[in-house]
Structure 1
């Protein structure tokens, strides 16, 4: 799949509102944002601000979703990836995440790591991380609040620049202290 990215522009607000309000995002903190909330987030700089850049994601010339890259001024940028419902479960996640990793490491030579986080029950995304060269680095128990008041773990994955450059995954020992 040929994956490309187009930076979000000021002219894209209506498309952004439509995208975020017509797709469900069951594994995100806000699963079904309202139009008013999306417009407020635009005004608040959620999608474009210092250290934040948002891209439309295209695969084979079809819009697949949205990638919000944050902490661009740090050594470890992070991302929020949202695919249209029709693209989920069809194998698009791995090429999209690999291309996004390439974009970040190419555009940000100071970045040493690139990381993302999801809920522990988002098995599809967790597999996407692993298949894209990311390694699980953290498992935060009872960190992610659910709408019903319960809490589940959040899981953080990252890829090192040197691993991305060499096509490797540097592991580590979880239980390294007795």
Structure 2
């Protein structure tokens, strides 16, 4: 496994690289599977990496850019993660290995965040496995919650990790059968 690190996206220095990365790769399990350069630029200028409550980092493997992670709602106690890996970086265990690095970065940099959450489509088996292997817990299964262009909606599956669990080295179970 290569050494995995994060490097904050710096604007405007990284603007062209951000647009190039998003528009050069296909992300089949995202709402926009292949953003155009114009769409990627619009996403960037909307503040996705540096707006209020937002932060973006490059995912580096042995210093080579292999992905990007954007975080939203960092002013709240629950932040949201969006991880995108380059096509040639998938299937190598990078998703599972980078998640703890992201968790440390968020919990160290943003002390008011107590929970980090990510959602993916039900058919994104690789990301679902990555979340579980990295210690995240499935918290929700939103039936028909993910629109699919030209097709039936799929379920959106939510995973999360708690700051308190990371600090204690434990996992707080979800009380699925708590109704009296």
Q: Normalization by structure 2: what TM-score?
A: 0.94
Q: Is the 8 A contact 1:133 1:168 kept in 2?
A: no
CA distance in 1, matches of 2:175, 2:46: 41
Aligned to 1:2: 3
Deviations 1:62-85 (A, max 9, x none): 212000011111101111000011
Query: What is the root-mean-square deviation of aligned Cα atoms in Å?
Result: 1.2
Gaps of 5+ in 1: none
Structure 1 position 163 matched with structure 2 position 140: no
Shift of 1:137: 0.6
Shift of 1:167: 2.2
Aligned to 1:97: 99
Gaps of 5+ in 2: none
Shift of 1:172: 2.5
CA distance in 2, matches of 1:43, 1:101: 25
Instruction: Extract structure 1 runs of 4+ deviating beyond 6 A.
Output: none
Aligned to 1:79: 81
Shift of 1:95: 1.4
Deviations 1:87-136 (A, max 9, x none): 10111111111100010011112211111000011111001001111000
Q: Normalization by structure 1: what TM-score?
A: 0.95
